[in-house]
Amino acid sequence: MQARIWGCRGSIATPGPETIRYGGNTSCVEIRGDADEVIVLDAGTGARPLGNELMSDPPARVDLLLTHLHVDHLEGLGMFGPIWSPGTELHIWGPPSPVASLDERIATYFSPPLFPVHLAEVPARVRFHDAPREPWTIGSVTVTAHPILHPGATVGYRLESAGRAIAYVTDHEPALGTDLDAVDASWISGYALARRADVLIHDCQYTDDEYAAHVGWGHPSVTHVAAFARRVEADRLVMFHHHPGHGDEALDAMRDDMLSAWQVESERCILAAEGARIDV
């Protein structure tokens, strides 16, 4: 598998000179399976440039895995090229809700007056799926979805192929009410998804100082992510979902803090950056 980052900003898109190196588009990651399956993780504004590239050679099938429906993970769907292509079979997976179906919840955003076209009217053949409780396969890739700790229905994903695993656990506050260093691992949100992942893409929104004023907002601090990575024994960590107020230099400093807290070799800790390709 290979991952490519198309958007790694959290909360709201932040284009500008302060975010040149790591990018300002919101969450979107492209995964290519070993059989060239096209799997897209979240549809933030990074879905627009990804969609443009996909349309240069339109795939017959695209699987979009949504972690949750907060706008920064959904706002790119309307500008995602394949959704406007009648030849595309677009499978959208997302967290189940006891309140409404996945298509109804997406259409809350993807319909007038917030968007000019209703979701039911797009040309692509769209299929909606509640993320199953048990692992399922997309071509050669086995996908597992588990609920994770974030306000509202939210899941993380683990994708496995040929003995390799990538975990996508963004918008996640695993230390809320929990001492990650002390608690038994079975009580850590996201543990089963991220356990011994070759690549762990994890929310890293706050510095430790910022977190103190944002407890319960659904995002972790650097120290929490370091503890989580240590507990799950991740091989490589990709710091993701950058705070919109963190420019490139601030992110570099957070990575230094992460290395100090996690105490691993430098190459095992990566700051997500638009355009970056990561071999799994």
List residues binding other proteins (CB under 8 A). 96, 98, 133, 144, 146-149, 176-178, 185-189, 191-192, 195
Quote the least distance from Cβ 133 to other proteins, whole Å.
7
Q: Which CB atom, from 125 or from 133, has the smaller least distance to other proteins?
A: 133
Quote the least distance from Cβ 150 to other proteins, whole Å.
10
Give CA–CA dist 187/193, Å, rounded.
Answer: 13
Quote the least distance from Cβ 186 to other proteins, whole Å.
5
Q: Which CB atom, from 112 or from 187, has the smaller least distance to other proteins?
A: 187
Give CA–CA dist 232/17, Å, rounded.
Answer: 36
Q: Which CB atom, from 134 or from 267, has the smaller least distance to other proteins?
A: 134
Quote the least distance from Cβ 8 to other proteins, whole Å.
24
Two structure tokens written together for 238: 């990709």
- Give the residue from 80, 65, 22 showing the smallest Cα distance to 275: 22
Omega before residue 113 within 30° of 0, cis: yes
Cβ-based neighbours of 166, under 8 Å, separated by 6 or more: 1, 3, 31, 158, 159, 160, 197, 198, 199, 200, 201, 280
Q: Which CB atom, from 70 or from 158, has the smaller least distance to other proteins?
A: 158
Cα end-to-end span (Å), the chain: 5
Q: Which CB atom, from 129 or from 195, has the smaller least distance to other proteins?
A: 195
Quote the least distance from Cβ 129 to other proteins, whole Å.
15
Give CA–CA dist 242/110, Å, rounded.
Answer: 25
